[in-house]
């Protein structure tokens, strides 16, 4: 099929490249000229496992542009929906993309992949489409892609959710996804929108629950990972998203939970559980500072920070738990030496004043303490001999060799 993807970020680029891998002709549209030029040259502008190789393999089926000319067929809207100050989402990018697509199409389907609050597709976006044509249908097809594993998740999803307003649209999208072996749920756009929010909210709740139990376990002097191993053996619970640590970040969970809470409040409902999940997540990373203070006054000390991305295998620092930790350390007068395999350039835009190093060894040299904040595999085995004081505090439980150091975990 002929597919257009509006928005070549993490979701849009991974989606477009994966559809090309399945044999479709894909046109990627983005306002960022530098990003488009890279794609045209076969260079992935973001780091995502396997993306570079799959992009290069399918360059004959992929085009990239900054304009909406000559689009037809199926158009996926994959632009951002950033948070507004009250937690609700900014729909401007989505509305602009939908209008631009509808203005340049004669017929076809506009599919919303951007995460939007339930009711948005039918109440807000459909009227925008109808201004331009009655031959264009609109649907909601939420994405469930994990950064770092986006291509794998696209090709091997737990389910595909299609929120369509008519059977013809649903059948066309089912045909598009036919090469993928996964159950397909066909529903209306509003249900599809809430499935996305409910899924993310539940997974985030599991993380905050694990952290709550982890905080108690630390006070009791026991290992929360041993506790959760026993809990996760219950098939009703599963082990996924039960790793205690410094909390969740990224482009989805924090934003989506705030939007769900704000949307519910506007509908007259106070989501107290979501309030608690977000509060725990805001407090959790700062617990690592409290542990550090047991060993030293941070002012004037050199603290090595290993891991800046919100999770391993991505260069994304959006809502990274490293951000509040670095902010607090700077406020306390600490000197910071930072290292991350992929995310340093992105973090420099937020903290240009701290020192960045090209390796673990350089970052920890002469440091008074080391905080491990992302679970990159290269952090499993580290020689800390070059540190001034071998104090290591971990937020992700990735370190395997703890001999010869003073070691603590945030929840263990």
Residues catalogued as catalytic: 252
- Dmax of the chain from CA atoms? 71
Written as one string, the DSSP assignment of 120-168 is HIIIIIHHHHHTT-SSEEEEE----PPTTSHHHHHHS-S-EEEEESSHH
CA distance 150 to 248: 17
Question: φ, ψ for residue 303 (rounded to 5)?
Answer: -115, 125
Contact partners, residue 410, CB within 8 Å, separation at least 6:
214, 218, 244, 245, 246, 284, 287, 288, 291, 393, 394, 395
CB 176 within 8 A of CB 109: no
Fill in the DSSP letter of residue 213: H
CB 401 within 8 A of CB 376: no
- Identify the helix (H) or strand (E) that includes residue 264: helix 253-266
Cα 298 to chain center, whole Å? Answer: 31
Helices (H), strands (E): how many in the chain?
16, 14
Cα 258 to chain center, whole Å? Answer: 15
- Identify the helix (H) or strand (E) that includes residue 174: helix 167-176
């Amino acid at each position: 099929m002929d597919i257009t993807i509006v928005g070549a970020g993490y979701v849009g680029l991974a989606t477009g490249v994966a559809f090309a891998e399945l044999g479709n002709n894909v046109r990627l549209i983005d306002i960022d000229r530098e990003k488009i030029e890279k794609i045209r040259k076969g260079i992935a502008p973001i780091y995502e496992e396997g993306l570079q190789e799959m992009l290069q393999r399918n360059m004959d089926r992929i085009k990239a542009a900054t304009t909406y000319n000559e689009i037809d067929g199926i158009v996926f809207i994959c632009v951002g929906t950033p948070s507004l100050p009250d937690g609700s989402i900014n729909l401007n990018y989505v509305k602009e993309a939908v209008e631009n697509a509808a203005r340049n199409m004669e017929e076809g389907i506009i599919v919303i992949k951007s995460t939007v609050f339930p009711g948005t597709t039918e109440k807000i976006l459909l009227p925008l489409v109808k201004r331009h044509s009655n031959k264009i249908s609109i649907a909601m097809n939420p994405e469930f892609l994990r950064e770092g594993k986006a291509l794998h998740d696209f090709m091997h999803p737990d389910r595909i959710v299609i929120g369509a307003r008519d059977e013809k649209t649903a059948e066309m999208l089912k045909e598009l996804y036919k090469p993928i072996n996964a159950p397909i749920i066909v529903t209306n756009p509003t249900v599809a929108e809430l499935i996305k929010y409910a899924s993310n909210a539940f997974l985030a709740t599991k993380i905050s629950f694990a952290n709550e139990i982890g905080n108690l376990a630390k006070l009791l002097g026991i290992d929360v990972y041993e506790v959760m191993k026993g809990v996760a053996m219950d098939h009703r619970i599963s082990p996924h998203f039960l790793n205690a640590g410094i909390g969740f970040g990224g482009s989805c969970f924090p934003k989506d939970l705030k939007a769900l809470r704000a949307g519910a409040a506007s509908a007259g409902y106070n989501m107290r559980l979501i309030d608690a999940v977000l509060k725990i997540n805001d407090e959790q990373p700062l617990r690592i500072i409290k542990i550090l203070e047991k060993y030293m006054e941070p002012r004037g000390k050199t603290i090595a920070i290993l891991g800046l991305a919100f999770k391993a295998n991505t260069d994304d620092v959006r809502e990274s738990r490293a951000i509040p930790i670095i902010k607090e350390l700077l406020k306390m007068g600490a000197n910071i030496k930072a290292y991350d395999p992929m995310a340093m350039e992105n973090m420099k835009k937020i903290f240009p004043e701290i020192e960045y190093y090209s390796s673990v060894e350089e970052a920890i040299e002469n440091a008074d303490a080391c905080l491990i904040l992302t679970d990159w595999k290269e952090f499993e085995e580290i020689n800390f001999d070059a540190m001034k004081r071998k104090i290591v505090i971990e937020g992700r439980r990735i370190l395997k060799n703890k001999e010869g150091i003073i070691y603590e975990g945030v929840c263990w």
